[in-house]
Amino acid sequence: MEGRILKKEFLECGKIVAPHGVRGEVRIEPWCEPDFLTEFHTLYMDGKPVQVTAARVQKNMNVLKLEGINSRDEAIGLRGKILFLRRADARLEEGEYFVQDFIDCQVIDIDTGADYGKVYDIRPTGANDVYYLRDQEGRERLVPAIPEVVLEKDIDGGIIKIRPLEGLFDAD
């Protein structure tokens, strides 16, 4: 576990971008699947729990009603606030992880042991996710997160083993 950061208890899950209507609902830019965010009855803002009394998805955004926010003016005051979820409250399927858990994982070649760098971001492309890596020299690489390439994930140990497709790193 040398060099691994412990998993965070609270994870950023979205940002309040605007009020919605006149009854204090807020529109959320979700940083996870919008449907996933509707499962939480408690989120966290400014380090304090906030009860979610209603949640729905609307056009790839979330609309939430937060306890104690009852007017458009109160909702406007929350614009730009970051919402967090508590890891222990999340229900993930076997083999599912949060993007945050991949950050700083070392990516190595399963055949040669070559070190390709650490994951610093993961972005969806529609077809699959892409791992963004940076090595010690600052060189960046992109790795498609597909079963043909990503062969082993030891997230707790901080190691991802890959077999690059032919030509993937030819520009190196």
Which pLDDT belongs to residue 1? Answer: 39
Dump pLDDT digits (tens) for 121-170. Answer: 998 888 889 999 999 999 999 999 999 999 999 988 999 999 999 888 87
Predicted confidence (pLDDT) at residue 2 exceeds the cutoff of 70: no
Give the pLDDT confidence score for residue 5 in this predicted structure: 54
Counted domains in the chain: 2
Residue 38 lies in a domain: yes
**How distant, in Å, are the alpha carbons of 23, 99, 160, 164 from that of 138?**
49, 21, 19, 19
Of the three residues 89, 107, 138, the one that is the final residue of a domain is 89
How distant is the alpha carbon of residue 161 from its chain centre?
21
Residue 130 maps to a domain? yes
Residue of higher predicted confidence among 80 and 172 = 80
Expressed as residue numbers, the domain containing 107 is 99-162
**130 close to 123: Cβ distance less than 8 angstroms:** yes
Q: What's the pLDDT at 127?
A: 87
pLDDT of 19 higher than 60: yes
- Length of the chain equals 172
Strands 25-30 and 106-109: unpaired
The reply to whether 25 and 53 lie within a common domain is yes
| Residue finishing a domain among 89, 113, 128 | 89
User: 10 Å Cβ neighbour count for 16?
Assistant: 24
57-63 average pLDDT score = 95
What CATH number does the domain containing 111 carry? 2.30.30.240
Residue 122 DSSP code? E
Greater confidence (3 vs 106) lies with 106
Distance CA 39, CA 44 (A): 14
Q: Whole-prediction pTM value? A: 0.74
pLDDT, tens only, 68-110: 999 999 999 999 999 999 999 998 888 788 888 899 999 999 9
**Residue 172 confidence (pLDDT):** 56
Query: 70 and 122 share a domain?
Result: no
